[in-house]
Structure 1
Amino acid sequence: MTTAPATPDPTMEAIGQAVAEGQAGGAAAARRKLLGLWSAIGVTGDPLHRCTLAHHLADLYDDAAQALAWDIRALDAADAVTEQRAQDHHPGLHIAGFYPSLHLNLADNYRRLGSFEAATEHIDAARTCAPSLPRTPYGDLLRGAVEEVAEAIVRRDRSRRASAPGSAG
């Protein structure tokens, strides 16, 4: 999202600040902040908040099993986000656009854990959802990552991708 949300959302702002801190090298502090927000939101809280937080928190773990747990939470929460809720947050936001990245991350984690059948299921889902990606540098980046992970699955490569988001520290 490059423009301001339709209405101020302090939770999304706090998530964004923690994510920025993690991207700037403060992964441990970002994880603590996001985990605190997760506790405040609760497992039955706003699904857009849960999806966004879990998706970004997963990127702050180098351990594929820990990342997988958060990526599963993100996908589960996305299934509960309505199109109206996405539009209320930002007029250009569509929940369908979340799924390529969510499935990509699951495929990558399963691949890293050696669960190639599950990885294949999610990379296939990412490919199926990819037409919803915008024709932007971000969309192109995701489409490229889908193909990169698909190739790694075929090779039975369990190593972390150099292009993977995040870096725990």
Structure 2
Amino acid sequence: MTLDHPIFTRWPAQYPDRLQLFSAPTPNGVKVGIMLEETSLAYEQHRIDIMADESHAPAFLALNPNGKIPAIYDPDGPNGTSLALFESGAILLYLADKTGQFISAELSLETVLPGSFGYDEFWATLYGFPYASSPNLTVTTKAQQLLIFLLATL
């Protein structure tokens, strides 16, 4: 299996069939690693040196345009397609839904308000509405994107 994403030019995967975690040993950075350990999902960790500004390297920005850790690349995402995801809350929710652990049976990705936890790009792709990925999005732009989603689905 070959992973086709720019992130792997800088941080190659030794185990391309595993979920790939890009993070750093910070309070926010370890949350996803803890979740992966608790759910027993196979993963490969890539340390991002935020002090050396690696989170703003072009390869990392291709994975997370916000330039923040953590981020993941799941080669076995929804419907068997790969998924790049960032923002710790979005990742934790995704992993809970993927494994069926640490989440109520009444909750799932479909029942949580789309756009929350930085999950906007996933929902935009899923429902086919425009998404502008930029670290400089204003609150107004984000609100407009959420409104477009709500109007399209109600």
Alignment TM-score, normalising by the size of structure 1: 0.29
Whichever structure has more strand as a proportion of its residues is: 2
Whichever structure has more helix as a proportion of its residues is: 1
Alignment TM-score, normalising by the size of structure 2: 0.31
Q: Which has the higher contact order (CA 8 A, sep 6+)?
A: 1
